[in-house]
Amino acid sequence: MIAITPVKKYKLVIFDWDGTIMDSVTKIVNCIRSSAELLSITPPGDDAIKNIIGLSLDKAINVLFPANTAQHEALITGYKHQYSVDITPTPVFDDVASVLSALKEQGIVLAVATGKGRGGLDRLLDQSQLRHFFSATRTSDEAQSKPSPDMLHQLLEELGLSAQDAVMIGDTQIDMTMAKAVGMDRIGVTMGVHGKQQLNELDPIATVDNYLQLQQVLLG
């Protein structure tokens, strides 16, 4: 077991969703590829697709398919359809529920800041049975796309807390960049898109490989 030094006590812990709470990266890649192929568009490589995870869907499509602007709406519609029918499993990561429960028991407020749309997040909050843990959530439907810090500003305002009271948990440089923009501490998790070296470029206070390590960092 890696020895991990606990950090300061936070009042608010904000989680990304895809690649942070839910192991959904493979499904997202598959659905982007399928939506392109159905339109006879050559899809980008898997790494390029992974690097847009966290952006709002329209922004992600703009980044991935700059030469296919006339088909962006069809790609967005196709992706949403593929996500609803694709059978790639998307379990939550090991120990998520127990760690969220432990944080709540310590009086820590929990929130979600995700590039998913509202409908997608609400569906997955219910399917995963994790909704009751979170006091507030923000999606790309209510805020500017990451890495804009808009959704963090909104969450802090709703919950009456400052950036210094909070920490952002995410698996991508996009998450780390968003938190850094508001002077919020951040912790990288390596189960999703980016590894420790990439996450550490954005100066997280810690980088962990699983939820038990995350609990050690946050609670000791």
Spatial contact of 130 and 123, defined as CB atoms under 8 Å apart: no
pLDDT bracket for residue 1 (50, 70, 90): very low
Full DSSP string of 64-106 = H-TT-GGGHHHHHHHHHHHHHH-----PBPTTHHHHHHHHHHT
Q: How does DSSP classify residue 134?
A: -
pLDDT at position 3: 46
Q: What is the mean pLDDT of residues 132-151?
A: 97
Domain boundaries along the sequence of the chain:
12-23+92-219, 25-85
pLDDT in the model for residue 220: 83
Paired residues of 18 in beta bridges: 22
Dump pLDDT digits (tens) for 165-197.
999 999 999 999 999 999 999 999 999 999 999
Between 6 and 109, the more confident residue is: 109
Report the run of H or E that residue 13 belongs to, with start and end: strand 12-15
Count, residues in the chain:
220
Q: Which CATH number fits domain 25-85: 3.40.80.10, 3.40.50.300, 3.40.50.410, 1.10.150.240?
A: 1.10.150.240
pLDDT-above-90 percentage for the chain: 93
Handedness of CA 137, 140, 141, 144 (dihedral sign): positive
Q: Per-residue pLDDT tens for 102-126?
A: 999 999 999 999 999 999 999 999 9
Instruction: Confirm if 171 and 190 have CB atoms less than 8 A apart.
Output: yes
The Cβ-side half-sphere exposure at 103, using a 13 Å CA radius, reads 29
Indicate whether 145 pLDDT > 80: yes
pLDDT for residue 2 is more than 80: no
The confidence score (pLDDT) of residue 6 equals 57
Q: Kindly state the average pLDDT of the residues 60-73.
A: 95
**How far is 131 from 151, CA to CA, in rounded Å?**
18
Place of tokens 């950036």: 163
The pLDDT confidence band at residue 8, using thresholds 50, 70 and 90, is: confident
Q: Which two tokens stand for residue 124?
A: 């997955």
CATH class of the structural domain 12-23+92-219? alpha beta
**Structure confidence by residue, pLDDT tens digits, 164-173:** 999 999 999 9
